[in-house]
Structure 1
């Protein structure tokens, strides 16, 4: 993997870059001080990832990111953002991933390592190039990621969580709307965020915030946001029940995001019959690649990529990919790979899962397989 760092040593400490270089002796690391030097290097050299400082001496970081997209659309673009500051809309649309300053070695190592894992999982240069050319990529779910970080504090209260969500009025309104929907309502209307936290619990609240952010993203005119969200929430609920507690959250998030690729332009909807000579990337791998750029955990990315064909998973036992495969099929009247379930010794669970799906679907007024 070839990584380029752009910026001066005040923002990109040499010792941190040296740690990245030492992570894998097959990696090539280059550093340049400004955007012009970066543009010249990228124009003549294959670069896999570029890390751009928050301030450059000759151009804005957004201008450089835009040039990088034009020159090497398959290159992963990482932007550094001053801690506590909100990045511009232009930056969030051009960067695949945002990392906070001051730059921590651990965060940078995780970000670069996960990019290599992603390229190995989805060895598809054409897919990377197509996604890289998208003019306005969906932004990562910033509120969800901040919430996940906050919940690592054992002392956080329901009021603290409510205040965090209230910081984004649009998402707060969607959270309240979902909280009072048939999926989560017990008949009593909830009008405040603290009440929503109490009703849902922290685990479900995370899913609702994620759904609220992701399914408010723009999509093609042929995508029914409400139907997509409803199907994803049902699949998320089912996948959570299929897995042990230690991996239930991974399954719930992966099922919730299984169709996120449908929000990207220029992808093929794999729920529809394939057309002859249609060379567009399928929405499952495209969605998985987007989640990888967002920095989500690899089990979620793999489950999203392979849930329609779970035999492609590197995990041979029934785990997150298997649960998402079954949950999405039950939520969308899709085909279940019963041979796969037999190989993973889970075939005898299928009828019970079907029954759970019917009960859950009837409770919210949707159809299930």
Structure 2
């Protein structure tokens, strides 16, 4: 049974949560404590799967508690539940908390957040990899793009479109911007999934502060090099796939989510290059030696593929479930049980079309997911056949993103 620990110095609030969540006790073991020190003592007895903590508490505050939990129990999912957050504190929380919920919470918001976080455990079953992702505070940005963004933000006449185009260039920066804007301390009234809307809402000052903060962003440091998986090549491939998936979903209700799925589809490699580069190099060598798809070699060597790792990270950061699902099942779309043309189908179709024109990983067998052809598209009632999909992608595949 999954364990969830709630920490708040207000007994009345804990009592309210205890009563509100009583019906979930058959599914989750829930513990309620009134201080950070008691939370640590409880976790020393037995770790928990999810920690939900207030920020302002006497003695040790929520940020200090989250920092300790991140270092000692990185596999624990960390959620902040608070009605207060100053600017400096908010910046710290972006590296300490996976999600931030505001007080008072809307009906079922806490339950939904915990449910989704616990679902992530089913996507990434390897405990060591969960700990690596859980401890991850930030994804390093590509230096060239980071420098371009920094320079743009210093211009007095910079516009939203210019900043949006730069942020789109690096999925690591884009993912962090979306995590920022959808954290409750920015008080958005609805979830934002468009990068331009996120930048407009946050404002240049907030983006500039984040970019200049080593706590939020860092630069990519060259380490173990895995041929074909260099950050610049991953970024270029993500742009190709994002442009293709945009062409396939343009004008539909799923467009925003599909664009994000394309932009972030290989972000798991950014995590593996930072956290497990030697193992990723071993997986690459095994894929070549055994003539098997790289994602299968990753599961053998690392315990998870880049798809599960990327989906887990984005799920923790609160990105839309349709995006997380598409990235998680991109190699095995049949596992999703989808019966209609959705974000996942748009992603795997786009990726297959891009792969056919420009293989990314020379010498490494690529995945062969479901038979992607007219039968696949007909089964999902796609609004086009395979020839039309090729035409749309070839027409719009100009290196830019359709927005």
- TM-score normalised to structure 2 length: 0.66
* Structure 1 segment 125-164 matched on structure 2, within 5 A: 125-134=127-136, 136-138=137-139, 139=176, 141-145=178-182, 149=188, 162=200, 164=202
1:96 and 1:263 mapped to 2: Cα distance?
Answer: 18
Report which structure shows greater RCO (CA 8 Å, sep ≥6): 2
Distance 1:84 1:66, change over 3 A: closer
Does the 8 Å contact 2:269/2:310 carry over to 1? yes
User: Aligned runs of 1:111-190 on 2, under 5 Å?
Assistant: 111-134=113-136, 136-138=137-139, 139=176, 141-145=178-182, 149=188, 162=200, 164-170=202-208
Aligned: 1:42 with 2:43: yes
Which region of structure 1 is more displaced relative to structure 2, 159-168 or 237-246?
A: 159-168
CA contact (8 A) 2:247 2:393 kept: no
Q: 1:220 to 1:350 in 2, by over 3 A?
A: farther
How many residues are matched? 319
Contact kept? 2:124, 2:304, Cα under 8 Å:
no
Residue 69 of structure 2 aligns to a residue whose secondary structure is helix
Aligned-partner SS, 2:32:
strand
What is the 5 A alignment of 1:139-288? 139=176, 141-145=178-182, 149=188, 162=200, 164-170=202-208, 218-219=219-220, 221=222, 227-243=233-249, 245-264=252-271, 265-267=274-276, 268=280, 274=286, 278-279=301-302, 281-288=304-311
Segments of 5+ residues of structure 1 without an aligned counterpart are 174-215
- In the alignment, which of 323, 327, 349 is matched to residue 346 of structure 2? 323
Aligned partner of 2:378 in structure 1 is 345
C-alpha distance in 1 between matches for 2:281 and 2:353: 18
Which stretches of structure 1, 4 residues or more, deviate above 6 A after TM superposition? Answer: 158-161
Q: 1:218 to 1:95 in 2, by over 3 A?
A: farther
Q: CA RMSD in A?
A: 3.9
C-alpha distance in 2 between matches for 1:5 and 1:260: 31
Gaps of 5+ in 2: 140-175, 212-216, 288-296, 360-365
TM-score normalised by the chain length of structure 1: 0.71
**Cα 1:24/1:168, change in 2 over 3 Å:** same
Partner of 2:103: 101
1:289 is displaced (CA, Å) by: 0.4
Deviation of 1:280 after TM superposition, in Å, equals 5.8
Inter-CA distance 253–99: structure 2 relative to 1 (3 Å threshold) = same
Find the counterpart in structure 1 of residue 327 from structure 2.
Answer: 304
Instruction: Report the CA distance between 1:232 and its aligned residue.
Output: 2.4
Residue 393 of structure 2: which of 340, 351, 357 is its match?
A: 357
| Whole-Å separation in 1 of the counterparts to 2:101 and 2:219 | 24
